[in-house]
Structure 1
Amino acid sequence: MSEVTTARTYNQRHIPRTYTPGGRRVSIYVAWSYPAEAGRYVTELDNRFSTMTEVRRVAWPAYEDPKWSDPYQFQQGIAGSLELFFWAWVPFQDFVEETTGHPVPVYQHIDQAGFHTPLDERVLADTDVLFVFGLDHMITEQHAQPGEIEALREFLAREGVSLVLGPHHDVGASDDLSEREMEYRHHGDPLVPRQQRFATYVRDLMKGLGVPVVNRYGLRPATREGNRIAPLSTAGDLDTKGWLDGVTNFNFHMHLPHYEVTTDEPDTIRLLARQPIDTSRPHPFTEAGNTEFNMFLWMPPSGDRAGDILLADSTIFSSLFGGDESLRNFWRNLVSK
């Protein structure tokens, strides 16, 4: 066999990966249109990513090294903050490659050059574990096509595969501006606008595949000493595959989605982990009496579907938000079981 391809990003000019025998093949699919996100007007306050200049101002002095602050070395607009995602996924990619023996390519729904990579056999034929990160702002109207949903059904008909869906938060969905302000004050991140709604593409996938979940809100997790995220509340009796073996917590992020289950049918989906909420800051969800939100869910194989479907937010795989041995155990479980 020839040596593995070393490029980290792929598009429709896809060059198939080659492998040594061993572990499972893992791929990441980012559901955004890079040009649509990078091209948002910075004069519009809502439903866009921050510019790199805004990131530098809020996080000062963390990004004052010339590799981040010099406009001749790193883009200072929205595109610069998008590029941070790729930097931050590299430790996860490296960890998975060390664990499985295979490199982890990152595909984009629409990449920097405008190339569209649909979820079809070019992505799925050499993948055993697929992560779909729902980081597309709803306003950019990224939609999954029927052919992509059918391709995922065929993928999930294979034994031993997993689909990990990560729709990001849905902040400020209410028309009530005072409620949006409450949400903003709750999570406390000045880089997130009063309205930031994500994940039309992954919502399409969930609807098409019969995943009874919707991403809601952006909730701030409770912390313990040292500003470490509070431990998860887990349902060990439901985790018959051991997805959370050796896992006590994920990484801290100021605004995480609640994965609301929309069915009452038993055994359709298993809620394996809840995250305690920082209740010192009011939020409509906590004012309704909730103290935890749904963090990690699993749909075991059923009927014609031989593969697993899991839900976990994309920030869990980003080094921007830290990590420890518990988190690495979670990464290892997802790509090994």
Structure 2
Amino acid sequence: MNSTHRNIPPARTYNQTHVPRKYTPGKRRISIYWAWSYAWEAQRDLAELDNRYSTITEVRRVLWPDYETPEYDAARFLQGIDGTLELFHRSALSFQALAGEVTGHPVAVFQRVDQAGYPLPIDARILADTDTLLVFGLDTLLSAQAAAAEEIAAIRHWLERQGTCLVIAPHHDVGATPDYAQRQEEYEHHGDPLVPRQQRFGGYTRSLLQALDIPVINQWGLRPAVDPGTGNIAPLTAFRDLDEKGLLTDVTTFNFHPHLPHYALLEGDPKAVQVLARQPIDLQRPHPFTTAGNTEFNCLLRLPPADQRAGDILMVDSTHFTTLFGGTDSLRHFWRNLARMK
């Protein structure tokens, strides 16, 4: 190869039909499913204050001068909400590269409704060549995304296959109250001016949790505590005796993100869901959850195989697979552990 081309990234493809990956013993085939309608999210009325993503123009204004580079100029990059959605896609590339290196398989990326308007429910087209499926619940609740009965049946059948792993990743639920004072308190707690007083996510993943009888729901948008000495995110409280799969091997922290969901356990068998890790909360910023006496939130859950289900189910936030808010060696260890999971 000509030396002048050594640092040029591979050519990108678009609007292609998925090419199934062949099974390789011991090598997981990982897929990401963005459970949003790209079109619905991208075309939200910008006069709406709540329950929408920021535009790139708003991102540029708040984070100036981080995005004042040629690659984010209007001649090259979408400037509306669609540009922000593309930032999420870009921010998952590091995880995709690492997972591909570990497994020897490219990570397949699907969307419930993509940029070109093509719908894709979860069915055999996705599941047949997938061993680990990450379902990213960044769909706004108002968009009314929900798994159809046929999708639930397909997922249940897939989970009967030995070695499968379903990662259900609903994002935060900020301002889920008509009380404006509480919404303001939550806003001041997370401190992100790009997140409105109400931003509720995860309808599709919530429908999966309900249909699969998983007694968990995503709540709040909580700001992690930081180490006063370094300013880095505070270490996880890890329950390593429960970590049969080694997901937390060499992992001390996940990614810092100002508004992370608490995966609350609802009524049901407490042994059915294992809490593998909790994240300490920033107690210097008042929040209803900490006022009630809580100092940590659930950030990594596992449901081991049970009854006819041979596969594992995990819950961890989708932002821990992105680099929008940075990335650490510890987080990469988590990615590697997930990709190698036995």
TM-score, normalised by the number of residues in structure 1? 0.95
Partner of 2:4: none
Q: Distance in 2 between matches of 1:335 and 1:8?
A: 24
Partner residue of 1:132?
Answer: 135
Rounded to whole Å, the distance in 1 between the matches of 2:244 and 2:42 is 42
Tell me which residue corresponds to 1:51: 55
Q: Which amino acid aligns with 2:47?
A: T
- 1:182 correspondence with 2:182: no
Amino acid at match of 1:59: L
Length, aligned pairs only = 331
How far apart, in 2, do the equivalents of 1:10 and 1:153 lie? 29
- In structure 2, give the amino acid aligned to 1:210: D
Aligned twin of 1:248: 252
Between the aligned partners of 1:219 and 1:203, the Cα distance in structure 2 is: 19
Question: Which residue of 2 is the match for residue 112 of structure 1?
Answer: 115
1-side partners of 2:239 and 2:13: how far apart? 35
The aligned residue for residue 38 of structure 1 is: 42
| DSSP 3-state at the match of 2:51 | coil
**SS of match in other structure, 2:330:** helix
Deviation at 1:84, TM superposition (A): 0.4
- Displacement after TM superposition at 1:227 (Å): 2.2
Runs in 1 of length 4+ with deviation above 2 angstroms? 5-11, 13-22
Distance apart, 1:22 and its partner CA: 5.4
Structure 1 residues 275 and 9, CA, compared in 2 at 3 Å: closer, same or farther? Answer: farther
Q: Mapping of 1:321-336 within 5 angstroms?
A: 321-336=325-340
Q: Which amino acid aligns with 1:33?
A: S
Does the alignment pair 1:147 with 2:150?
A: yes
Confirm whether residue 281 of structure 1 aligns to residue 285 of structure 2: yes
TM-aligned CA deviation for residue 267 of structure 1:
1.5
Aligned residue for 2:125? 122
Partner letter of residue 324 of structure 2? L
Residues in 2 aligned to 1:21 and 1:301: alpha-carbon distance in whole angstroms: 20
Look up the match of 2:175: 172
Deviation at 1:33, TM superposition (A): 0.2
Structure 1: where are the runs of 5+ without partners?
Answer: none
Once the 2 structures are TM-superposed, how far is the Cα of residue 43 of structure 1 from its aligned partner?
Answer: 0.5
Deviation of the 1:264 alpha carbon: 4.1
| Distance in 1 of aligned mates of 2:11 and 2:108 | 9
- Which of 192, 195, 198 pairs up with 1:192? 195
Residue 217 of structure 1 aligns to a residue in which SS? strand
The 3-state SS of whatever aligns with 1:92 is helix
Give the aligned CA root-mean-square deviation in angstroms: 1.6
Q: Which residue of the partner structure matches residue 307 of structure 1?
A: 311
Which residue of 194, 210, 213 maps to 2:213? 210
Gaps of 5+ in 2: 1-9
Shift in CA distance, 67/7, structure 1 to aligned 2, threshold 3 Å: closer
Equivalent residue of 1:226, what SS? coil
**Distance in 2 separating the partners of 1:322 and 1:288:** 31
| Structure 1 residue 237, shift from structure 2 partner | 1.7
TM-score of the superposition, structure 2-length normalised? 0.94
What residue identity is the alignment partner of 1:333?
N
Q: CA deviation at 1:335?
A: 1.6
Aligned-pair CA distance for 1:321: 1.8
Q: Deviations over 1:67-125 (max 9, x none)?
A: 11x21211111001111011101000000000100000110000001100110000000
Where 1:321 maps in the other structure, the secondary structure is coil
Write the distance in 2 (CA, Å) between the matches of 1:241 and 1:271: 13
Q: Verify the 8 A CA contact 2:215 2:268 in the aligned structure 1.
A: no
Deviations 1:199-240 (A, max 9, x none): 000000111111110000000000013321100001122222
The residue type paired with residue 108 of structure 2 is P
Contact 1:164–1:309, Cα closer than 8 Å, also in 2: yes
- Quote the sequence identity (%): 57
> Residues 22 and 101 of structure 1 are in contact (CA less than 8 Å); yes or no, is this contact kept in structure 2?
no
The one-character-per-residue Cα deviations of 1:271-324 (angstroms, maximum 9, x if unpaired) are 010000000000000000000001000000001000000000000000112222
